[in-house]
Structure 1
């Protein structure tokens, strides 16, 4: 995983990621410029030889900007090789750099970096005026990002320390839950003294009310209030996102190595390490292909249950995408499907879409269209900021009205015509581009059929919104970003429904094939909350398994 680093000037809120590509021939620098609640992002690609004149550089390169953001520094992890460049020249060099609003493919080796393992406390001091404790922490010889030393000063508020006491009276270790009652909590309580253990791996606070709290150095360092610790926490929370365009997709689709976007169904079902690899790749790239499943009913559900749970919607738990006589959705026709995200009319929209190909149309058409909408949105943020602002702030009405046969799926063998039909009418209001409070894109809503005719905005906003949305749609469908892939029977296309827009080419004759089963795709949804929970638990179990093999 790339390391997010900050300069020593704590007022600097900018940071950058570095991704190394195959054979260390080139790398991408993904740069984030923070201003208030906005994050401006761009990426550039260059070669190591051009930047460092042939000097070697390791995977975890450190990048940070000096004060006032005038220059960019690139250093190796050990702090050996370094080079400084003016920021503007780095981005706009005529010879080496081509500015792009996307990032590289996933790094060749994605390793989770735990910089706080083996922390030791050099000293600790009570700062009574600030109501903090200052702890000087050393990290057992591992350099901290953005510095040439392994020593870091960390401050912890008294109230936070008392609130997070780990003793049996205040914390239930098996339930991982705080048990202290908030109404009994004295937020003004202060420690009378402190003591660092002889091995310097823990610290004990003696409170004025007679209570004692002991904290391990690793535990404190991981939860420090420093920019470094906060940045690492956000990476663990949000995941390692890598944006892509058509050129990147072509490369990963042609890649036959272990770093390909293809994952074996049998390996996923039998090996936790393969399951983790698939889910991490899906989280990073937003799209992954599972190959080798049996094109029959049942396997898609088993795959979903292996990762988390099937998310039920008003279309059921599993749904069949094929041409029908009385379709409740345009997907159930043989017509072309525009690029869209599924179910934008759900407040809690399913996070992952899985489409298993059972039968594929043998003639031309029926291919899947895919776009990384986050990459397109970041392009608009830079090159069309006014339109981006309109799409990220204007609420749009999304709706779906219809009837769907009762039943969780069609695995039961009961024909749809014999089931009762349940009516539905779903509505949700949200912008096309949804950000969190820090300006980080978390969701994109696109669906021409499900965009309601109700548009609850001021009259003056209508025309400007349509102009902005038209630009976004043109970019989504442009060859620069839109790619196609025709599924083969047994393949399962999995993608981030909050991020990746998908569509389908028309197929069949002009008269239609309403009764034909010559293209049959089974679909299911999962939620990111459950998947990310699974990823975290798998990382622990797979890590322990690897350690046991080594020992």
Structure 2
């Protein structure tokens, strides 16, 4: 299976195929970030207990009063008195934030992480956006003697055991918290989630498609096309004029045309004319193949995933392989055996689906996921193709 049918031509190119043949796919140092001189505990004594709790309702602060007791509000579940309240409390080595407008009920912020991310002028240069602390001075056994939410409910202030004071925007804390990253991933999964496919799924569901008019005139059409590209690795735009210029406009709707055959992500095909038979485009979801390889031969998968040939993206082109000079003699035969298993998996008919391209249908292919080739054909066949990239596809 050869990786592409556009040939070695520039940008959008047109060619005529007249005979049947096989198809081949890092500031100065500051100690305020818990410096070495700050290793002893402050006069306030040990850290507050896990039950320390604070609500922003009247913008009062929590403070440590003695080593045996703390000033603490009621149990944190009862602190929020209305929808504008923000609750803070300590839990072990974390500050927990409850915000009525955050989707997560409890956001745990490690105290060492908070100290490391102090944004006071001696810790952080807001002009260059660089830390001014030395990570070698970071103290892990750090604890606050006092913390509070401001009157506006938009930021919190922490006074640490050594007297240093830090202030954080609640919005910044949410955007940079671990749980917000997980939440964003869940949101993304609800918008698009990778769909693996093979020959069997091809028989019961179509590849994603969008009509040319909707794609060119409506942003919803662009989102539909990009969603299909992200979920399936392939998507078609139908109803396109069978011309070089129309194909170029379709490509440029979502990204710049690359002036090289080595496109970053996307390869595009458009059949302008075919008066014979055959010539179906063959498509294989490489990620579905890798899933099968992982299940059938974990050792082969592990070996290949640690070599440059695979990594996070799938690169499979056995016809243009470079000499394996990066492999020691002891690793060469295991590599060949694993690569053979990969080839047998990816080239299995059970993974392949075929699509006959006709004038008016433009096919977008994710070159880092989908293997593609072409079956033999008869007659005269004129193809138009291009290479592009979709740099903002995940943000759309």
Whether 1:247 and 2:194 are equivalent positions in the alignment is: no
Q: Residues 179 and 141 of structure 1: is their aligned pair in 2 closer, same or farther, counting only changes over 3 Å?
A: closer
Q: Which structure 1 segments of 5+ residues have no match?
A: 1-117, 145-150, 173-177, 254-259, 316-342, 344-348, 395-429, 435-441, 510-517, 539-551
Indicate conservation of the 8 Å contact 2:284/2:352, yes or no. yes
Matching residue of 2:389 = 527
Indicate conservation of the 8 Å contact 1:245/1:482, yes or no. yes
Residues in 1 aligned to 2:112 and 2:338: alpha-carbon distance in whole angstroms: 49
Q: TM-score, normalised by structure 2?
A: 0.65
Indicate conservation of the 8 Å contact 1:120/1:140, yes or no. no
CA-to-aligned-CA distance 1:216-273 (integer Å, 9 cap, x gap)? 2x543343234xx4434556789732211122233332xxxxxx61112221222112
Whether 1:295 and 2:242 are equivalent positions in the alignment is: yes
Q: Residues 206 and 458 of structure 1: is their aligned pair in 2 closer, same or farther, counting only changes over 3 Å?
A: closer
Indicate conservation of the 8 Å contact 2:199/2:352, yes or no. yes
Q: Residues 473 and 206 of structure 1: is their aligned pair in 2 closer, same or farther, counting only changes over 3 Å?
A: same
* 3-state SS of 1:443 partner: coil
Matching residue of 2:231 = 284
Whether 1:231 and 2:191 are equivalent positions in the alignment is: no
* 3-state SS of 1:444 partner: coil
Q: Once structures 1 and 2 are overlaid, which stretch shifts more, 243-252 or 447-456?
A: 447-456
* 3-state SS of 1:480 partner: coil
Indicate conservation of the 8 Å contact 1:252/1:261, yes or no. no
Residues in 1 aligned to 2:188 and 2:117: alpha-carbon distance in whole angstroms: 22
Whether 1:383 and 2:296 are equivalent positions in the alignment is: yes
Indicate conservation of the 8 Å contact 2:157/2:165, yes or no. no
Q: Residues 212 and 179 of structure 1: is their aligned pair in 2 closer, same or farther, counting only changes over 3 Å?
A: farther
Matching residue of 1:155 = 109
- Residue 305 of structure 1, CA deviation: 2.6
Residues in 1 aligned to 2:84 and 2:267: alpha-carbon distance in whole angstroms: 41
User: Which of 323, 327, 344 is 1:457 aligned to?
Assistant: 327
- Residue 163 of structure 1, CA deviation: 3.3
CA-to-aligned-CA distance 1:264-311 (integer Å, 9 cap, x gap)? 222122211221221122112111111111111223332333212223
Matching residue of 1:101 = none
- Residue 209 of structure 1, CA deviation: 8.1
Q: Which structure 2 segments of 5+ residues have no match?
A: 1-82
User: Which of 149, 170, 182 is 2:131 aligned to?
Assistant: 182
Matching residue of 1:52 = none
Indicate conservation of the 8 Å contact 1:137/1:154, yes or no. no
Whether 1:308 and 2:232 are equivalent positions in the alignment is: no
Residues in 2 aligned to 1:449 and 1:273: alpha-carbon distance in whole angstroms: 40
Larger Cα Rg: Structure 1 or Structure 2?
Answer: 2
Q: Residues 170 and 393 of structure 1: is their aligned pair in 2 closer, same or farther, counting only changes over 3 Å?
A: closer
Q: Residues 445 and 166 of structure 1: is their aligned pair in 2 closer, same or farther, counting only changes over 3 Å?
A: farther
Q: TM-score, normalised by structure 1?
A: 0.48
Residues in 2 aligned to 1:204 and 1:274: alpha-carbon distance in whole angstroms: 46
CA-to-aligned-CA distance 1:50-106 (integer Å, 9 cap, x gap)? xxxxxxxxxxxxxxxxxxxxxxxxxxxxxxxxxxxxxxxxxxxxxxxxxxxxxxxxx
Task: From the two aligned structures, give the one with the greater strand fraction.
Answer: 1
Indicate conservation of the 8 Å contact 2:90/2:96, yes or no. yes
Matching residue of 2:95 = 134
Residues in 2 aligned to 1:478 and 1:279: alpha-carbon distance in whole angstroms: 28
Indicate conservation of the 8 Å contact 1:352/1:495, yes or no. yes
Whether 1:365 and 2:274 are equivalent positions in the alignment is: no
CA-to-aligned-CA distance 1:383-418 (integer Å, 9 cap, x gap)? 111222233234xxxxxxxxxxxxxxxxxxxxxxxx
Indicate conservation of the 8 Å contact 2:118/2:168, yes or no. no
Residues in 1 aligned to 2:227 and 2:146: alpha-carbon distance in whole angstroms: 45
Indicate conservation of the 8 Å contact 2:120/2:166, yes or no. no
- 1:94-173 aligned within 5 A: 121-125=86-90, 130=93, 133-139=94-100, 151-157=105-111, 160=114, 163=117, 165=119
- 1:463-482 aligned within 5 A: 463-482=333-352
RMSD: 3.6
- 1:186-265 aligned within 5 A: 193-197=146-150, 200=153, 202-205=155-158, 213-216=167-170, 219-226=172-179, 229-233=180-184, 240-253=193-206, 261-265=208-212
Kindly indicate whether structure 1 or structure 2 has the higher relative contact order, using CA contacts under 8 Å at least 6 residues apart: 2
